[in-house]
Amino acid sequence: MNAAAVRILVTGGTFDKNYDELEGQLRFRATHVPEMLELGRSRIAVEVETLMLIDSLEMTDAHRARIVERCRAAPESRSVVTHGTDTMELTARALHAAALPKTIVLTGAMVPYTFGSSDGLFNLGRALAFAQSLPAGVFVAMNGRCLSGARVRKDRSNGVFIECD
């Protein structure tokens, strides 16, 4: 059994984008999660696993199935999934439908971590706290809130996540 308390599954999204000055576009190089954990002075045991580095708009049902399977196969009972915000609600619903007997918290960022004014560090910290303290289920940690993975929705007009009935 792995000694880690929480498995962090990295999928990409704005969380891990970098600005490519030559191309003038946001691109992926590698995950920033280990650096973020160090900067946040995290002292919990984690296992960071990079599944993919893609924009969530490019995420397919096959990608979501891979996320579900990795959550299922992880030896830890608690996981945090970093994810792009555009389709986070779809992955949350796929994980909810899988009914895994684990605590799974999805989180992301509206601004890339490398921009310095990102909400990513705060969201990652909140997701780790929620993952350690909540019962089994699927949740989304964004905007300082913890929302039901089954009922979460991105309110694009206000740039926040909300729960629907």
Which parts of 51-156 fold into alpha helices (H)? Answer: 61-73, 88-98, 120-133
pLDDT score of 20? 63
In the three-class reduction of DSSP (H, G, I as helix; E, B as strand; rest coil), residue 30 is classed as coil
Between CA 18 and CA 27 the distance in angstroms is: 5
pTM of the model as a whole = 0.91
pLDDT score of 32? 84
Helix (H) or strand (E) holding 25: strand 25-28
Asked if 49 and 31 count as a contact pair (C-beta separation under 8 A), the reply is: no
Tens-level pLDDT at each residue, the chain (165 residues)? 445 699 999 998 888 776 666 666 666 778 888 888 998 899 899 999 999 998 888 999 999 999 999 999 999 999 999 999 999 999 999 999 999 999 999 999 887 777 777 888 899 999 999 999 999 999 999 989 999 999 999 999 998 899 987
pLDDT score of 81? 98
Helix (H) or strand (E) holding 104: strand 103-107
Between CA 13 and CA 107 the distance in angstroms is: 10
Between CA 148 and CA 153 the distance in angstroms is: 10
In the three-class reduction of DSSP (H, G, I as helix; E, B as strand; rest coil), residue 5 is classed as coil
Between CA 93 and CA 57 the distance in angstroms is: 16
pLDDT score of 26? 66
Between CA 76 and CA 27 the distance in angstroms is: 30
